[in-house]
Each structure stands twice: as structure tokens, then as C-alpha cells.
Structure 1
Amino acid sequence: MYQAKIMALLFVAGDQGIKEKDLAELLEIDSAALRQTMEQLAVKLASDEESGIKLANFNSRYKLITKSEYSELLTKYFKSGLGTKLSQAALEVLSIVAYRQPITRIEIDEIRGVQSSGSINTLLARSLIMENGKKNVPGHPNLYVVTDDFFDYFGIKSLKDLPPIEKFENIQEENIGDFNGES
């Protein structure tokens, strides 16, 4: 039962993974029981020839990763261009960064109402956003801005070429009105 829950959590966490103590809290089990379950899951995934993923532990942070024997296939996939489309979540984050930059991950999360680390990592990996200093608040979080690759990707010359944000706010108000049964 715990293994399925762990896999679901790690899948959603993506590249960020989840710290051992956070997993234990989420599952409401002690660290020793979690470690035992993680060892069993690691053995199960590693020995399952029908599974292309395995469990990895990096500095007490668990994540699901692909098995190394599939590296050629994954390279072929990325070279094919099939993996070049951005997810809806990544597009949302990218839009927020473009319109509100410089902005921190926490500020993005507050706007979206969900955690955005995975999308930020995707956008960083594709060089569509970059870190641009630290915000002068406790913890000094990274500030994100769009890159020149962002402009190339969307075929625009500057942020002034983006549609006015008011256009989207009006659409959102209309949709909220429809949702509330208003006409």
C-alpha cells in the first residue's frame, strides 16, 4: 500500500524528488518504516524487467529515475523532437515569469495555487528562463526572468510584443461569471 503511494508522490514531484522526512510526514509513518519500504521498493523496481524506472536516493531525497539501459532510447526520443512541447503547467509558469519578472518560485506558486518546481526546472533546462539574482528577503530565493531563447521560441522581439495582461483578465472575469451562473 505504501509503495503505490510513494510512487505516486515521487512521480508528481518529478526531478525535484521528496526528502525522506517529508515523505515520512506525508505517509504518517516513522523514518525507519519508510526506509524499509523504500529499500523494498528499490529492489522491486530494479529487479522488474517490465519497469523502465528505478528508485534513487540523493542525499536523503528520493526520486524516480529512468534505468540507464534505456539511455539510447531516451536520447532518440529527445532528438526526435517529440519531447519539445511544453506542458500546460510549464506554459503557465512561463507566462507568469514573462509578465511578472523578476519573480521567485514561491510567488509563482502563490499565483498558481500549486507547487511549480518541476515546471521551473523544465524551463531552466530548456533555457527559457534563468536565475537573475536573489530577492532580498529571508532565505534569499532565486529570482527568475525570461531568456533570449524565450523570445526566439515565441518569435517575439521584446516583452512589449506580449498581449496586454488586461486581455486575459477580461477573459478570466467572463469565465468566472459563466461559472457562477451569470450571463
Structure 2
Amino acid sequence: MALLFVAGDQGIKEKDLAGLLEIDSAALRQNIEELKIKLMTDVDSGIQLVDYNNVYKLVTKNEFSDLLTRYFKAGLGTKLSQAALEILSIIAYRQPITRIEIDEIRGVQSSGSLNTLLMRKLIKENGKKNVPGHPNLYVVTDEFFDYFGIKSIDELPKIENFEDITNTGDIDGEN
């Protein structure tokens, strides 16, 4: 079961699992069936073993879907990625700002992380920029302040206090 757990969403192919366990496919299928039954009959377990085209995965039982949906909607199940934190800091320091302006600062496309921040209500749309296409303007929300435990943008570190690591001349570890 540990192998299935660490395999996560991608699961493990039957032949790979048999190879790792050093057993033949028939013995593996028997062990899999026993584990499926054990997990399905255990009322204290929220996990079941499934087989998708000879790829085995551990997944949550259907009866827990409402609870898990509430958990993820509450934002408790995820930490912010490095990209989301970068975007959040750009918005906090440069608000109101458009996605295109964020992309220009970062040098990469930001819509995925931007959507995550919107879903977590750390940012919100706040009008349209008066330019062709009228892109959305983004600002931080009260939830942003709660998340970081601050009361206003003035409590953020002054951007002038950050050292520009690209201009330090410390390429080989010497100053």
C-alpha cells in the first residue's frame, strides 16, 4: 500500500507494481483484490483501491466527496506556490495591475496562479484598465491581509529595502 500511496494520482501500472514487489501478475492481482476488499469493508477508512486500465491507485471513497469539497473550497488543503506568492507580491506592490503587466514583470504567463489567487479570494478584479481590450485590474483583498496577518499595505516591507541580487557582483561567491 505504501507504493500506491507515494505514486499518488498517477498510480502504478500492474507490470511495474509486480516488478517492484517481485511477484508475478497472478499473485499481484490476488493481493490487489484482498486489499480492495479490506479497504472497502473498513468503515474507518476513507480510502479505496481502484484499477484504471491496469493502473492501480488509492483514491478517496465517494461518500467523502462533500466533506473533501468543503475542505478544498475553504483553501485549507493547499499552500500557495512560489508562482502564486510572486504574483501576489506583484499585485500588492503595484495594484491596481493587469495580468499582462504581471506577465511582463515575471517574464512568464501567470493566468493559472492568478485564478488560484482569485479562487482563494486573496485578490479580486477591481475595474478595467482604460486601454484597448479593457483588461481587468487586480488588487488584494481583506483576505490577503488576514492571510499575512497585516492591517494595511503600509505594513509590507519597503521595496527599496530589497537587495537586487542580479547586481551584487557576487557571481562566484566572492564580494
Q: Name the TM-score, length of structure 1 as normaliser.
A: 0.56
- CA distance in 2: counterparts of 1:99 and 1:70, whole angstroms: 44
Does 2:106 align with 1:112?
yes
Q: Structure 1 residue 131: deviation in Å?
A: 0.2
Structure 1: give runs of 5+ residues left out of the alignment. Answer: 1-46, 53-68
Query: Counterpart of 2:94?
Result: 100
Report deviation, 1:167: 1.6
Q: For residues 137 and 74 of structure 1, do their structure 2 counterparts lie closer, same or farther at Cα, with a shift above 3 Å needed?
A: same
Give CA-to-partner distance per residue, 1:96-131, whole Å, 9 cap, x none. 000000000000000000000001000000000000
Query: Amino acid of the residue matched to residue 131 of structure 1?
Result: E
CA distance in 2, matches of 1:98, 1:172: 21
1:25-36 aligned within 5 A = none
**Alignment match, 1:153:** 147
Q: Distance in 2 between matches of 1:128 and 1:79?
A: 13
| Larger helix proportion of the pair | 1
Partner residue, 2:157: 163
Structure 1 residues 71, 105: CA separation in 2 closer, same or farther (over 3 Å shift)?
farther
Return closer, same or farther for 1:71/1:143 CA change in 2, 3 Å cut-off.
farther
Task: Confirm whether residue 144 of structure 1 aligns to residue 141 of structure 2.
Answer: no
- Structure 1 residue corresponding to 2:165, chosen from 162, 168, 172: 172
In the TM superposition, what are the counterparts of 1:12-161 in structure 2 within 5 Å?
48=53, 50=55, 72=65, 74-75=68-69, 78=72, 83-161=77-155
Q: Larger radius of gyration, structure 1 or 2?
A: 2
Deviation at 1:50, TM superposition (A): 3.6
Residue 44 of structure 1: aligned partner: none
> Would you say the 8 A contact 2:75–2:120 is kept in 1?
no
Q: Secondary structure at the match of 1:120?
A: helix
> Against the structure 1 CA distance between its residues 158 and 76, is the aligned structure 2 distance closer, same or farther, given a 3 Å change threshold?
closer
Q: 1:140 to 1:76 in 2, by over 3 A?
A: closer
Query: What percent identity do the matched residue pairs reach?
Result: 72
Deviation for aligned residue 1:74: 4.9
| Paired amino acid for 2:154 | K
Q: What 5-or-longer segments of structure 2 have no aligned partner? A: 1-51
Task: Number of aligned residue pairs: give it.
Answer: 123
Aligned counterpart, 2:10: none
Q: What amino acid is the match of 1:177?
A: G
